[in-house]
Chains A and B, each alone.
Chain A
Amino acid sequence: MRSRKRQRLWIACIGLILLGAATALALNAFEDNLVFFHGPSDIAAGKVEQGRLIRIGGLVQENSVNKIANTAKIEFRITDGVAATPVVFEGILPDLFREGQGVVANGRLDANGLFTASEILAKHDENYMPPEVVEALKKSGQWKMGGGAAPNAAGGNS
């Protein structure tokens, strides 16, 4: 009777190991489909198909946001610190949209490398802080987030 329990234990453990291995292989195989967005570097490297509906993500480049005159459109550049993609968008921006902020844009890339977005989502980073703390950090020069290339907000760690 103890050996039957031991046998069940072995079957369960071996089953779990095989299951884990199978899952890891499957996830590895589907890697590309599980990625929610591409980075500007992928576009620069020509990994992204033109004309297809895709998402690109990264930080809104500092001093790149412009309202296009006489239209409701805005243009800006999405960067991951290495490459940058120009984006045009017409519509409602999320509250968190600003320069230096992580965003994900849904749209199509044209032949000139311009990305026309139909939807902009803000990507929040994992830092939570009261405004006074941020002010204090900025004053003392220890503020690292929000500007330049924060790797997490750019999501370039795939």
Chain B
Amino acid sequence: MTEDMSPLMSFFHMGGYWPYIWPAYGVVAVLLIGLLVWTLVALKRSKLELEALEALAPRRRRRTETSPAGGPDDAQP
């Protein structure tokens, strides 16, 4: 079965285990790339939102309102 296959065909054939190997690699590729794209899109969107809000806000307020990164904790009590 494997003798009369072209090198490309036998690469995709994977010794008969192609129904296992390719889906495994495929799921990894889809989910990892999906996570990356989802993150990038969300980052872009929230940056635009932030820019819009900063344009609206009066200049003097930015320093005091935007500084806490983690909420009103006692980081510097």
**Interface class of chain B by DSSP:** loop
**Cβ of A1 < 8 Å from any Cβ of B?**
yes
Q: How large is the interface on A (under 10, 10 to 19, 20 to 34, 35 or more residues)?
A: under 10
Q: What 3 A-B pairs come out closest when comparing CB atoms?
A: A1-B77, A4-B77, A1-B74
Per the 8 Å Cβ criterion, residues 1-21 of A in contact with B are 1, 4
Residues of B near A4 (CB, < 8 A) are 77
The contact sample of 3 A-B pairs, CB cut-off 8 A, is: A1-B74, A1-B77, A4-B77
Q: How many residues from B make CB contacts under 8 Å with A?
A: 2
- A95's nearest neighbour on chain B, judged by CB, is B17
Residues of A near B74 (CB, < 8 A) are 1
- A1's nearest neighbour on chain B, judged by CB, is B77
Measured CA separation A107–B77 after assembly (Å): 64
Residues of B near A1 (CB, < 8 A) are 74, 77
Q: How many whole Å from B74's CB to the nearest CB in chain A?
A: 8
Query: How would residues 62 to 77 of chain B score, 1 for a CB under 8 Å from any chain A CB and 0 otherwise?
Result: 0000000000001001
Measured CA separation A4–B75 after assembly (Å): 12
Residues of A near B77 (CB, < 8 A) are 1, 4
Q: How many whole Å from A122's CB to the nearest CB in chain B?
A: 15
Per the 8 Å Cβ criterion, residues 22-59 of B in contact with A are none
Measured CA separation A4–B77 after assembly (Å): 10
- B77's nearest neighbour on chain A, judged by CB, is A1
Query: How would residues 113 to 128 of chain A score, 1 for a CB under 8 Å from any chain B CB and 0 otherwise?
Result: 0000000000000000
Measured CA separation A1–B74 after assembly (Å): 9
